Amino acid sequence: MRAIDDKVGFTKIELAGALEAARFGLLRLDRNMNVCYADRSLIGLLGLPTGAGAQCAHNGIEHAALPIAFAELLRAVCKRPRGRSVIEFGGKQFLVCWSAHRDSGIMLICGDLTEEFRKSALDAEERVRAELRFSTETLEDQASQLATMAETADQAARALAQEVDERRRLEAKLRAIANTDALTGALSRAGFMAVGQRSLEHAQRKQQALSLLMLDIDFFKTINDRHGHAGGDVALRHLVNTLRNTARATDLVGRLGGEEFAIILPAATVDLARRVAERFRRKVEKSPAQYESAHIAMTVSIGVDAMQPGDSNLDLLLGRADAALYAAKRGGRNQVVVYQASAAD
């Protein structure tokens, strides 16, 4: 066989050696599609017996008698007389390039792409694994950030809840201070009016009885003059303690100012209120306050009034009970007077 490439100057022996050393093989067909030459590399790539190459090279076996692998190559060539194609047989992938030869035959170069495909697959797998690792790390970072944010938000929520509780306790304490008389511990005037109004409205809705007492320490100025303001303060605190110890658990004691006090009696008719007021009066009279080495004797005058069906404001009861209180004072003090229309001047 003469040199295939006259310009380069390769001989047949030199070209065959070069091709057989590579991972591809050479197939030469004549114009009748008979195999003129198949090198050992091609025989090895296709997994054919080594004798097939020699037989093809020397005898030019016809197309119908070719081994199956050669027949597949030739069918691919017949479909596309020029160009390249990737075919798979024998569990391998091959790149087949072909072109017309000078004598109208066909030259085919068949390269084994199995290793390239394997490398590509491994590269693709490694890229996927790298992307998965990156995605996993990213998701883990995001999960860690979300967990940190959630923990921070939870801490902030707990701190906020604690602050709200503290503010509520402070507000409750401030309300208690605002509604409590600092000297005696009784309800302040504002606190008594607020609680008393709610008690009145509740009694009206439930159609229950409610009564109110107004009381005043008799001759309180004399106590201050004799024992001083400190002695007067002791007398006021003693009076409140006496009222609380004598009153029911539901009764509300308030200091309206100076030595003047009021008591709300829920669910109490006027008759019951009068009896309770009389018990208060006797208890105060028999329980003098102790100030240093002196005993401070006290008496109180008490006015009594009961809620009427049309009463919508606590001031109405206070006004009537106050009128009864002054009637008790005019009558000689240290006594209980129930409000009557004629008692008001």
Amino acid at 228: G
Of the residues 259, 260, 278, 285, which is catalytic? 259
List of E strands, the chain: 24-29, 35-38, 83-89, 92-100, 106-112, 210-217, 252-257, 260-266, 289-291, 294-296, 300-306, 336-338
Q: Is 259 one of the annotated active-site residues of the chain? A: yes
Return the half-sphere exposure (C-beta side, CA atoms, 13 A cut-off) of residue 340: 8
Number of Cβ within 10 Å of residue 339's Cβ equals 23
**DSSP output for 37-89:** EE-HHHHHHHT--HHHHHHHHHH---GGGS-HHHHHHHHHHHH-SSEEEEEEE
Residues in the chain: 345
DSSP 8-class letter at 180 = B
Name the β-bridge partners of 255.
Answer: 261
Q: Identify whether the C-beta of residue 221 lies closer than 8 Å to the C-beta of residue 277.
A: no
Distance of CA 232 to the CA centre of its chain: 58
Number of Cβ within 10 Å of residue 333's Cβ equals 14
Among residues 34, 76, 41, the alpha carbon closest in space to that of 56 is found at: 34
339 is written with which tokens?
A: 């409000």
Q: Identify whether the C-beta of residue 57 lies closer than 8 Å to the C-beta of residue 69.
A: no
CA distance 313 to 321: 13
CA distance 16 to 69: 21
Q: Identify whether the C-beta of residue 259 lies closer than 8 Å to the C-beta of residue 218.
A: no
Residues annotated as catalytic (active site), given as ranges: 259
